[in-house]
Structure 1
Amino acid sequence: MVDELVPEEKPSRSHLNLVVLAFVIFLESALLFGALAYLIFELGSETPQSYPSAIALTVLTALAAIWVAVIGIGVLRGQAWIRGAAVVWQVLQISVAIGSFQGIFARPDIGWLLLLPAIAVLILLFTKPVLEATTRREG
């Protein structure tokens, strides 16, 4: 009888792991918006070899920046769908990071800047507080 009167304790949506996860994802989004601004500037100031390719790259960067920001908002709201979306984005980011370490035009600095936050997000996504905060509860 007493157990029925005590409300079920819900995981805190302000846990440090959740806040750090949201911060890193919003940081990724901000950097994508910075890349978008650079691409728009370049599109207006330089002549690309292919306008359709330049425009497509700019549009895809805009969509990615918006999507990553939406994931960050979902993290703050404790939405369950963000785990899958964040994993997909981090895997894509890791793929680009690995490519940045290789080839004639290798840029290890960019590779590390992409790889480290992606690994941090993947680790944070599977911590107990984040899993509890982003698990769909029926009721």
Structure 2
Amino acid sequence: MNAERTSPLLYTLAAIVFAECVFLAVVTVVLVVEILVATPESYPSAVALTLLSAIAAVWLGFIGVNTLRGRPWIRGAAIVWQVLQIAVAVGSFQGAFARPDIGWWLLIPALAVIALLFTKPVIAATTRPEER
């Protein structure tokens, strides 16, 4: 394995993405339980939200695995997810049902991933050999 592919920053990036994946998997399980136990105001909306969270969890797992493989496309995929996560975090800080605690739990890892994606070791580890 290439020395660039074993960067601690690459492993840190993958760990954060995997943690986000686990968090979304837990959210998906909670949403499934809520559909089965409680009566949602709208079943189609509840099912759609549950499916979206499940798809996002699988996608984050896929990004995490391919981060460890050093695939170049993960940089764009991870940025897209982190921007979406930041948008939800910002929404968590405001409004009638504001939850700053959730906002911080979403914002901090998103900013960490974005910062890691722009470090030299991560860029080097996720660049194709012919691009170097």
Q: Same fold (TM over 0.5)?
A: yes
Which residue in 1 is equivalent to 2:74? 82
Root mean square deviation of aligned Cα: 1.4
4+ residue runs over 2 A deviation = none
Q: TM-score, normalised by structure 2?
A: 0.96
Query: Is there any run of 5+ residues in structure 2 with no aligned partner, and where?
Result: none
Q: Distance in 2 between matches of 1:107 and 1:11?
A: 42
Q: TM-score, normalised by structure 1?
A: 0.91
The question of whether the paired residues in 2 share the 8 Å contact of 1:13 and 1:133 is answered with yes
More moved, 10-19 vs 23-32? 10-19
The match for 2:19 among 27, 31, 35 is 27
Which residue in 1 is equivalent to 2:107? 115
Asked if residue 63 in structure 1 is aligned to residue 55 in structure 2, the reply is yes
Which residue in 2 is equivalent to 1:7? none
Larger radius of gyration: 1
> Residue 138 of structure 1: CA displacement?
2.7
Q: Which has the higher helix share?
A: 2
Which residue in 1 is equivalent to 2:8? 16
Q: Distance in 2 between matches of 1:11 and 1:125?
A: 17
> Residue 92 of structure 1: CA displacement?
0.1
The question of whether the paired residues in 2 share the 8 Å contact of 1:11 and 1:129 is answered with no
> Residue 41 of structure 1: CA displacement?
0.5
The match for 1:48 among 29, 40, 44 is 40
Which amino acid in 2 is paired with 1:80?
P
Q: Distance in 1 between matches of 2:96 and 2:40?
A: 22
Which residue in 2 is equivalent to 1:94? 86
Which amino acid in 1 is paired with 2:71?
Q
1:106 is paired with a residue of what secondary structure?
A: coil
1:138 is paired with a residue of what secondary structure?
A: helix
2:97 is paired with a residue of what secondary structure?
A: coil
The question of whether the paired residues in 2 share the 8 Å contact of 1:15 and 1:129 is answered with yes
> Residue 11 of structure 1: CA displacement?
4.3
